[in-house]
Structures are given as C-alpha cells and as structure tokens.
C-alpha cells in the first residue's frame, strides 16, 4: 500500500447508511475517499464537505454500480484524482423482501443487477487496477446464515458475493491484496428500517445477545479493521458483524 497520506479508498453506496459511516471512518483513519452514490447528489456532497471540514479528503462520484461503463469511469475518476486506488469497499446494495412465490422478475433482476453484478463490476476493475498491497471488502448479510423467510432473492445475491470473495482472494495471489466480506446483522439504516413495524424492529433487535440493532459505525469499525494495518492477515473470509445473532 502507498504511504498514509495517499491511500485512496472507493466506497460504493456511501451517500447514506453504512457506506456513509465507512467513508467518514476511513477518512478519519487517513484515507482519501471516493463517495459513490447513484441517486441524489445532495447527501454525498454534504458528507464530502463534512469530511473536508474535519481535515480529511473526499471526492463524490455518481455511478450506478450495475452499469459496468459507469464503474469504469468511477475508477478512472479515482485514479485521476488520487493517482490510483488502494481500497475498494463494495457497500452499495438494495433489499426487497418477498416470498419466492410472490417475487416478480423485476424484484429478482434489480437485486441481482445491483447486489451481484454491481459487486462483480467493481471487483473486475479492482482486480485489474488496485495497487499492490490493497484491500477489498465486499458486503454480504448475516441472513445468508439465518436463512429467514422472504429474504430468498436478497440472501442469494449475497451468498454469491461471499463465493466471489473467496475466489478473488485466491486469484490475486502474489499481489498482497486481501479480499474479505463483512456480513452485518440488522443495522439501523433506511434499508433495514423502511417498511418494518416498530414491533418487528424491536423483535429483530433482540435476536442477538447484546439486544440492540447494529449502528452504521459498528459496521464501519469492522471495515476499518479489515482495511487497516491490523487486518493484514485476514484474507478470503466473511466477518459476521451482528452482535452474536448467528
């Protein structure tokens, strides 16, 4: 990895939720960060300003990760701004819950396009372009282990991400690049909270022995460990960050 001042990290889906907490944490840890998003620019711009006000360095970059050309441009922008890329955090993702029998083609296709193909698109660029000594962190979910009803399509996309993680970690042999996945449990963001009743949220918060929801900062801390000096020996693994739920 290059020296502390110039290590550059792309965080996909970093305008809100877990991704925003990761961008903020990595900036505090000395990375220059690329805040990727696909929709509204305003939250990404606000976060970039906050990071800069706190003495960090950040760039925003709009790109739908399911679009391979847009992903190529995202890496081009990062390389142009920072001279190269050292870290990729593949956080962007969506979740639509539905029993298999009631899942439409659109529900299936969109989750596969963003969660699986989006991760593949960025991994392919990273495999070719990450500087030696770099780090990649993908995003799975603890539901891959729990296997809850209605999570079928979503969890299947993330199970595929776990498989890609292990295989890419081997394909990058000789370049000192680690590839891992973080698999959060229920975490207090729009993705988890939207559409759930207070009662269901409280019940899911108690599924782990610490009896609370994860925070975006909890998950950012796990990512910071994997991309920081203390995570150097962890490779090809899935870290379930869920308070002990499974």
* Positions marked active-site: 154
Q: How many Å apart are CA 128 and CA 152, to the nearest integer?
A: 32
Which single residue is written with the structure tokens 């729990």? 146
Residue 128 beta carbon to ligand NAP: minimum distance, rounded to whole angstroms = 20
Ranges of H-type helices in 112-182: 118-129, 143-146, 152-171
Residues 24-83 that bind ligand NAP (CB under 6 A): 36-40, 64-66
Between 1 and 11, CB nearer to ligand NAP: 11
Residue 175 beta carbon to ligand NAP: minimum distance, rounded to whole angstroms = 25
CB 121 within 8 A of CB 71: yes
Which single residue is written with the structure tokens 């877990």? 18
Residue 101 has what DSSP assignment? G
Between 186 and 231, CB nearer to ligand NAP: 186
For the chain, strand residue ranges (E) read: 8-11, 32-37, 57-62, 85-90, 130-139, 178-184, 238-241
Residue 166 beta carbon to ligand NAP: minimum distance, rounded to whole angstroms = 18
Residues 82-141 that bind ligand NAP (CB under 6 A): 91-95, 114, 118, 139, 141
Q: How many Å apart are CA 158 and CA 139, to the nearest integer?
A: 7
Residues 146-205 that bind ligand NAP (CB under 6 A): 184, 186-187, 189-192
Between 95 and 160, CB nearer to ligand NAP: 95
Between 108 and 176, CB nearer to ligand NAP: 108
How is residue 185 written in tokens?
């449990």
Q: How far apart are the first and last CA of the chain?
A: 34
The residues of the shown chain that bind ligand NAP, judged by CB under 6 A, are 12-19, 36-40, 64-66, 91-95, 114, 118, 139, 141, 184, 186-187, 189-192
């Amino acid at each position: 990895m290059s020296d502390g001042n110039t290590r550059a990290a792309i965080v996909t889906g970093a305008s809100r939720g877990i991704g925003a907490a990761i961008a903020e944490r990595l900036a505090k840890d000395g990375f220059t960060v690329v805040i990727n998003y696909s929709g509204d620019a305003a939250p990404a711009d606000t976060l970039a300003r906050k990071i800069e006000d706190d003495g960090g360095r950040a760039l925003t970059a709009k790109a739908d990760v399911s679009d391979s050309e847009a992903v190529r441009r995202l890496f081009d922008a990062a390389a142009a701004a920072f001279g190269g890329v050292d870290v990729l955090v593949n956080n962007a993702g969506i979740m639509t819950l539905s029993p298999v029998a009631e899942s439409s083609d659109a529900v299936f296709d969109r989750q596969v396009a963003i969660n699986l193909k989006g991760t593949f698109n960025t991994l392919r660029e990273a495999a070719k372009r990450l500087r030696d000594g770099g780090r990649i962190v993908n995003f799975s979910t603890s539901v891959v282990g729990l296997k809850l009803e209605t999570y079928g399509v979503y969890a299947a996309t993330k199970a595929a991400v776990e498989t890609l993680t292990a295989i890419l970690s081997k394909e990058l042999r000789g370049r000192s690049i680690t590839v891992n996945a973080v698999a959060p449990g229920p975490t207090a963001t729009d993705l988890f909270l939207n559409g759930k009743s207070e009662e269901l949220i409280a019940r899911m918060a108690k599924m782990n022995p610490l009896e609370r929801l994860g925070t975006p900062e909890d998950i950012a801390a796990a990512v910071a460990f994997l991309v920081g000096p203390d995570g150097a020996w962890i490779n090809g693994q899935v870290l379930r960050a869920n308070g002990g739920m499974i």
